[in-house]
Structure 1
Amino acid sequence: MVQSVLMRFLKIEAREAAPVIAGFLMQFSLFVCYFSMRPIRETMGVVGGVNNLQWLFTATFVATLAVAPLFGWLVSRVRRRNITRWMFGCFGLNIFGFAVMIHLYGETVWLARIFFVWLSVFNLTAISLTWSVLVDVFNSEQARRLFAIMAAGASCGGLAGPLIGVLFVTSIGNAGLLLIAGMMLVITIVCADYLQTRHVRAGDEAVRGSKDASAANTLGGNPFEGAVHLFTSPLLLGIASFVILLASVSTFLYFEQARFVAAHFTDRAEQTRFFSGVDALVQFLTLVIQVFLTGRIAATFGIRALLLTVPIIMTAGFLMLSTSAVMGMFVVVMVIRRVGEYALVRPGREMLFTSVPTADKYKAKNFIDTVVYRGADAVSGWMKAASDMLLSPQMGAVAGAGIALAWVFSAIYTLRQHRRLEDGPVAA
């Protein structure tokens, strides 16, 4: 009885229950993995020097640029259902390696910088890959109903991960947190494997055999196909511009966060606890919105409400920071930005990819989510460093408002391109 009521409330059909649970657990385990490591990365960023953050962002972009062709080659050559096995298996070995290094040598400056760059590559690549699986196995109609529920799995994981840091970092240390993260990544692999080998899109039951066969085949093409398609598709180009401006807004706020934390907390454990506490708050608020609001907003107002709300609020937020740049005000704006991105922007952005060809769901999507995002990070990092030298904090916030306003217009353009594609012939 309770189960049927819950499924009706969440608008889940009976045959969708198992894949939705698998998608939820896939996102949950990945985000427990990532968010148990994220506070370590933030602390490592401070260890590496707040004034060196623009260099770390540039190094991250270079590393992402190096990884992108390798990912493209893997996607082109490996059976589709094995992509997550190979990628997450490799990442898991990296995590255990870092745990050993931190245990043996401690948090040296260079190890801190390497870990910062690695995790910055890992988080976008891994998150993009799990969403590639979801946009591959769920159709557009299902996405509007179900993506918020599976994104709630990410929020639950994002809530549990920081709490692990808050509760256990003083007893097991950062190396112990990394071991927990590595074990959670194994669960992610199992769930992704289930979705790619067992689930069939709604309406495709009659071709289950061919769908299963397609999951066992490679996508073909070349490692640079995703980048090429980006410049030939107005929708993909619109999504890329949207991501560039999203990353720029995030980077401006991230630099301010590091500056505030370095000024208010001197102990590394306290810095990790602060970052973990903020992460926990963000994920709790995100979870509430995803469960009760995101799906209904998407069903009632469409994707446009998901993509436009946060850029508009951020424009106002930066203008408020230009008049009152106190710690409390900054934390409020930062929390709103992150909650809005996870609860609204991310599900809305992923819904756009349900209409593109299968190869683009892996290749072009990953290129946008990693290389384009980190490239924007690097450029906006240097822009923020320059604005700190040339502009007052108030004028820097005004510049941030200008970027957020451009983000609004980028969302409008992208939504128009998506509507044209939805109204036209469906891509094969």
Structure 2
Amino acid sequence: MKDTVNHPLQAFMDVRRGEWPLALAMFSYFFLVITSFWILKPLKKGLFIEYYDAGGFSLLGLDFSAAQAELLAKVLNMAVAFVAVVVFTALSRHLRRQHLSFVFSGFFLLCYGLFGRWLSQLGDSGVWGFYLFGDLFSTLMVATFFAFLNDAVYPETARRLYGLVGLGGVAGGVFGSTIVRVNIERFSYPEWLGICAVLALLIVVAAWVAGRHVQVPSTELSTPQPEEARRSAATEGAALVFRSRYLMAVVAIVGLYEIISTIMDYQFTATVAHYLSGPAIGAQFALVFSITNWVSLLVQLFLTGLVMSRFGVGLALLVLPCTIAMGSAAFLVFPALWVGSLLNTADNGFSYSINQSAKEALYVPTTAAEKYRAKAFIDMFVQRFAKAVAVLISLGLTYAFGDFDSLRYLSLVTLVLLVAWVVAARYAGRVFRDYEEASDTPAP
């Protein structure tokens, strides 16, 4: 008999009695990580765009707008992500679950203190360093959280719990972006980083509590094979990915999304920079991010758990491509300020909610090595490599056309790439469903 409990959210989140401690601990952990992320994101993006909006950015004799300079920063993030993959892979050979969370939380606590001093006097190095640091936080902490979560539950449990756990992330997005929007001029950068440091300490507490309620016994987790231990930390994750069709489908989902999302973010950023100037730019970013996170919260609360528990992961994976298709088509026809701004909502309002929950559930049936090392390669390096591809596409087309109106034609690229994304999502959804129906099937 199922151990169920009557609850107001039962129709949307089928969480059973014994699962609540782990679910709530992970809810809190994710809430704190994403709150920190959404404090850092508008700050680092607003600082970067405002700094270069007035005079632009020059490199190797070429002049770049603020939005184009941010695309170059995304390329540089690929190098940072490669280092992150190597470090994460090496540490995951010895540390798992909450212990890995403790290490990275301590690292970011140290960084908050250093950047609090560095940003007291703005310069190019501080602006670029802070932008790269903001992306490094999301790269490492989100990957660490989901590696822990995917290592702590069974496939059947994931389909039911990830709606509630994901709600913690979108609630953190709403909370983080809202407090920044309301207080963006009230606190200095060192004060904001002090708030993030407090959140990092709370992340340690949440990870410790979650570690006490893991569902999967340690004896069921596969130990590294001798050949895996001898493999380089820089290539182990890639090797695991390339020998699995299932993981290659995940690569396609992640990579195509990152290309499309980077193109849309460039359209969004360039639209705001075109229509606004000065402090109004940062205020618009903060407002749009707040709207996006409220949409994400509503989607996670009323749609994610319902779709995943009743219709499966496969259908949930198709929701985001549909919303992006509608937003891109609208911008192609009418590239105005708020149409461009709402590209962020069409993307992140569904990416950080239903798509993230469904995508992360895909890792649950994989081996322990794939949950940590292969996932790190996908979430860190593949994501950043895809962003670099998107940068080349965006810069190439905008330089070729040379005016703001050319931004709309990037939506044609987005609509073409969506077709391949849907094909990969349908394949991954079918394989995951087969795992659910026969949980003893070996990982692909």
Same fold (TM over 0.5): yes
Gaps of 5+ in 1: none
Q: Which residues in structure 2 correspond to 1:29-108 (within 5 Å)?
A: 29-46=32-49, 47-48=51-52, 49-78=66-95, 80-103=97-120, 105=121, 107-108=122-123
- Alignment of 1:310 with 2:334, yes or no, is no
Aligned-partner residue type, residue 95 of structure 1: Y
1:80 and 1:218 in contact (8 A); partners too: no
Determine the C-alpha separation between the residues in 1 that align with 2:343 and 2:81: 28
Q: Name the residue aligned to 2:270.
A: 259
Aligned-partner residue type, residue 272 of structure 1: G
Determine the C-alpha separation between the residues in 1 that align with 2:19 and 2:41: 32
Q: Name the residue aligned to 2:134.
A: 119
Deviation at 1:175, TM superposition (A): 2.1
Residue-by-residue CA offset, 1:139-196 (whole Å, 9 max, x unaligned)? 1111111111111111111111112212222122222111111210211122122222
Deviation at 1:53, TM superposition (A): 2.2
Q: Structure 1 residues 174 and 307 mapped into 2: Cα distance closer, same or farther (>3 Å)?
A: same
Q: Which residues in structure 2 correspond to 1:242-321 (within 5 Å)?
A: 242-268=253-279, 270-321=280-331
Q: Name the residue aligned to 1:225.
A: 236
Q: Structure 1 residues 200 and 173 mapped into 2: Cα distance closer, same or farther (>3 Å)?
A: closer
Aligned-partner residue type, residue 203 of structure 2: T
Deviation at 1:340, TM superposition (A): 1.2
2:272 and 2:341 in contact (8 A); partners too: no
Determine the C-alpha separation between the residues in 1 that align with 2:387 and 2:150: 25
Indicate the SS of the match to 2:418.
Answer: helix
Q: Name the residue aligned to 2:372.
A: 362
Indicate the SS of the match to 1:181.
Answer: helix
Deviation at 1:378, TM superposition (A): 1.0
Say which of 416, 419, 441 aligns to 1:402: 416
Determine the C-alpha separation between the residues in 2 that align with 1:209 and 1:363: 18
Deviates more, 1:391-400 or 1:126-135: 391-400
1:226 and 1:363 in contact (8 A); partners too: yes
Indicate the SS of the match to 1:77.
Answer: coil
Aligned-partner residue type, residue 343 of structure 1: S
- What is the RMSD of the two structures over their aligned residues, measured on CA atoms? 2.3
Indicate the SS of the match to 1:131.
Answer: helix
- Alignment of 1:135 with 2:150, yes or no, is yes
Determine the C-alpha separation between the residues in 2 that align with 1:209 and 1:68: 24
Q: Structure 1 residues 89 and 427 mapped into 2: Cα distance closer, same or farther (>3 Å)?
A: farther
Deviation at 1:293, TM superposition (A): 1.7
2:105 and 2:200 in contact (8 A); partners too: yes
Q: Structure 1 residues 299 and 420 mapped into 2: Cα distance closer, same or farther (>3 Å)?
A: closer
Q: Name the residue aligned to 1:22.
A: 25
Gaps of 5+ in 2: 53-65
Q: Structure 1 residues 419 and 146 mapped into 2: Cα distance closer, same or farther (>3 Å)?
A: closer
Deviation at 1:253, TM superposition (A): 1.0
- After TM superposition, the score normalised by the length of structure 2 is 0.87
Deviation at 1:373, TM superposition (A): 0.3
Q: Percent identity?
A: 21
Indicate the SS of the match to 1:355.
Answer: coil
Aligned-partner residue type, residue 326 of structure 1: A
Indicate the SS of the match to 1:172.
Answer: coil
**Aligned residue pairs, count:** 414
Indicate the SS of the match to 1:5.
Answer: coil
Deviates more, 1:218-227 or 1:271-280: 218-227
1:29 and 1:157 in contact (8 A); partners too: yes
Greater helix fraction, Structure 1 or Structure 2: 1
Residue-by-residue CA offset, 1:349-401 (whole Å, 9 max, x unaligned)? 01111100012111111110111001100111111110112243343221221
Residue-by-residue CA offset, 1:231-267 (whole Å, 9 max, x unaligned)? 0011111101111110011101111122122223322
Aligned-partner residue type, residue 336 of structure 2: V
Q: Structure 1 residues 273 and 393 mapped into 2: Cα distance closer, same or farther (>3 Å)?
A: closer
Residue-by-residue CA offset, 1:298-329 (whole Å, 9 max, x unaligned)? 12221122111221332233223222111222
Determine the C-alpha separation between the residues in 2 that align with 1:301 and 1:209: 31
Q: Name the residue aligned to 2:8.
A: 6
